[in-house]
Amino acid sequence: MDAQWDDLKIFLAVARAESLSGAGRVLRVDPATVGRRIARLEAALGAPLFAKSPSGYALTDAGQRLMGHAVAVEQAVEGAAEELLGRAGGLTGQIRIGAPDGAANFVLPQVCARIAADNPDLDVQIVALPRLFNLTRREADMVIAVSPPTAGRLSVQKITDYRLHLAASERYLRRHGPITRLADLRQHRMVGYIPDMIFDKELDYLEEAGIERVTLASNSVAVQINWVRQAGGIGVVHDFAIPWMHGVVKVLPEALSLTRSFYLVRHADDRRLERLNRFAAALVDGVAREVARLEALT
């Protein structure tokens, strides 16, 4: 059984990393060894599990079928470990959170630092990417999303609402003409997302302001915020980020005020894992409190 579980761990690592080298880094095993173990598993099962292409290793039909069973075994092993270690102690091991970079930069660091301080044996990883995450492939243990997914075996929990407003640096506003209405924005440099790289409709902020041209565009919230801080232009900014932006103020707050929401998304099967449930509860409470605290400062 040990050998079989070891083979499944390697299979899962390759399926999630989509490469032997990526799986090797996660497992701290030489990629050639990973390749031999996959070949051995395929020979034992009598079916190819991966189709190799220039873009990496993709699951075959047989690999897709094995994936569900392998994840179930993984969860059973983790659940057994939780039972043996006891549920009353602190959280241990590694937990990876995927998040849009607004939350990842301005909310999650302090929230996760507090959780980690209360659980010295816990390692927390934050993956800040401006795209959707694949929980089936276990790119993360849980994800913070800006809209609830409608497909897949997922568990979705609303965390909190958050607000966004137009903002600019005081230096930019001193250098340019007055802004008294939304129509005035057409005469100013606008900061926002690259239009064809908006991965969620909830992020299409400027459309609501009637802005068609984005002079300074990036798929990263952190880049957009730095442009605003450096007097590059006017952008739609999370209220919870403004306290971190010295010299930046809201613009036309009565004319444009947006409300969005954060959701915690997990694979449905993970609801059986007490360790992840406890972390999720602490994360949800911490994010809601931190967003409220930061917004109260603006």
pTM of the complete model = 0.75
Phi, psi of 125, deg, nearest 5: -120, 135
Bridge partners of 195, per DSSP, are none
- Number of Cβ atoms within 10 Å of the Cβ of 182: 16
pLDDT of the residue at 54? 84
- How does pLDDT run across 234-274, given as a tens digit for each residue? 999 999 999 999 999 999 999 999 999 999 999 877 777 78
- 212 confidence band (pLDDT: 50, 70, 90): confident
| 213 in Cβ contact with 187 (< 8 Å) | no
pLDDT of the residue at 150? 78
Phi, psi of 171, deg, nearest 5: -65, -40
- How wide is the angle at C-alpha 117 spanned by C-alphas 295 and 82, nearest 5°? 115
144: tokens are: 């913070």
The full length of the chain comes to 298
| Percent of the chain surpassing pLDDT 70 | 92
Q: How far is residue 92's CA from residue 115's CA, in Å, rounded to a whole number?
A: 11
Q: How far is residue 270's CA from residue 276's CA, in Å, rounded to a whole number?
A: 7
pLDDT of the residue at 293? 97
Considering only CA atoms, which of 283, 284, 286, 205 is closest in space to residue 239?
205
Q: How far is residue 142's CA from residue 218's CA, in Å, rounded to a whole number?
A: 25
Q: How far is residue 253's CA from residue 12's CA, in Å, rounded to a whole number?
A: 48
Among 11-25, 61-75, 168-182, name the most confident range.
168-182
Q: What is the mean pLDDT of the chain?
A: 88
- How does pLDDT run across 107-133, given as a tens digit for each residue? 999 999 999 999 998 999 999 875 555
Structural domains of the chain in order of their starting residue, each with its CATH number: 2-85 (1.10.10.10), 93-160+261-295 (3.40.190.10), 161-259 (3.40.190.10)
CA distances from 129 to 13, 99, 181, 199, 260 (A): 20, 7, 34, 11, 18
Least confident of 19-23, 135-139, 145-149, 193-197: 135-139
Which residue type does 220 have? Answer: S
CB neighbour list of residue 283: distance below 8 Å, 6 or more residues apart: 97, 111, 112, 115, 142, 264
Q: How far is residue 173's CA from residue 59's CA, in Å, rounded to a whole number?
A: 53
